[in-house]
Amino acid sequence: MSSESGDKKLFNLAARADADRARMREHLMRGAIELQGMVPWSSNYTYLVSVKYADHEISAIYKPQCGERPLWDFEDGTLCKREVAAYALSAFLGFPNIPVTVLRADAPQGLGMVQEFIEHKRRENFFTLRARQRGAMQAIAVFDALVNNTDRKGGHVLVDAQDIVWAIDHGVTFHQEPKLRTVIWDFIDEPIPSELCAALTALRDALKRGEPIRAELEQLLARAEIRALNARLNALLQTRLYPAPPDGWPHIPWPPV
């Protein structure tokens, strides 16, 4: 996506240089992880951890594969990989803001995803933010349609002290069947902003040409899921409209926050 500051403002994207992301990635990949405690109310085993690297300590979220609650529709042990795939896609597109997320095989409870912790305003969520953060929600809504997010709760939208909006919890994404379930149905049948479409077009080209993002996704997702991702991408680029809820599918998560 164009990195013009206009777009960044419109969709409230973190003004974060690639070099900063790379540094955070390195920190999360190489740092020493220590469990600090479990995050209350999480549906899977979700830990708050500290990650120390080069004498610098940060907080992170750690979701081990062994703590994933089995689901009827997603293959066991794949949620942590889906979180990393969602991050990779967001980093390619330039939207939405997803905290840097990596896969670690050597974490305290084994393989899992490790994601930078975002200090956020605890009382805010999608419902309190939607009116004044419309652009950020437009970006998240396109992304959710693309990745087929089946659990966009209000609380999976955070805002930090700088009023940057962050999207979290992408474990149940990329299923090959339509499963979009979200609280963000504000834009049904509205045109997807052209800046966001431009990023989708760039993604389609990159996947077609076999750029690194394709290999990255292939390591994390099943082949049929990548085919379905391509199909959703083409459909979005064909209509250039926000989708309506799928038929016969509970399209609003419970609880909504």
Ligand X SMILES: Nc1ncnc2c1ncn2[C@@H]1O[C@H](COP(=O)(O)OP(=O)(O)O)[C@@H](O)[C@H]1O
243 part of the interface to ligand X, by CB under 6 A: no
Which is it for the CA torsion 42, 156, 76, 63, positive or negative?
negative
64 part of the interface to ligand X, by CB under 6 A: no
Residue 156 CA, distance from chain mean position: 10
Per CB under 6 A, the list member of 115, 148, 173, 182 interacting with ligand X is 115
- What is the Cα–Cα distance from 197 to 236, expressed in whole angstroms? 8
Per CB under 6 A, the list member of 10, 29, 39, 237 interacting with ligand X is 39
Picking from 13, 63, 67, the residue whose alpha carbon sits closest to that of residue 33 is: 63
Window of 67-75, 78-86, 119-127, 169-177 that interacts with Mg ion by CB under 5 A: 169-177
- DSSP state, residue 36: E
> Phi, psi at residue 99, to the nearest 5°?
-60, 145
Residue type, 34: E
Q: At its nearest, how many Å lie between ligand X and the CB of residue 252? A: 16
Q: At its nearest, how many Å lie between Mg ion and the CB of residue 151? A: 7
- What is the Cα–Cα distance from 213 to 84, expressed in whole angstroms? 12
Q: At its nearest, how many Å lie between Mg ion and the CB of residue 79? A: 11
Contacted by 117, from ligand X, Mg ion, none: CB < 5 to 8 Å by type: ligand X
Q: In the stretch 190-229, what mask flags binding to ligand X with x, by CB under 6 A?
A: ----------------------------------------
# residues contacting Mg ion (CB under 5 A): 1
230 contact partners, CB below 8 Å, separation of at least 6: 204, 207
Q: At its nearest, how many Å lie between ligand X and the CB of residue 234? A: 29
Binding site for Mg ion (CB under 5 A): 169
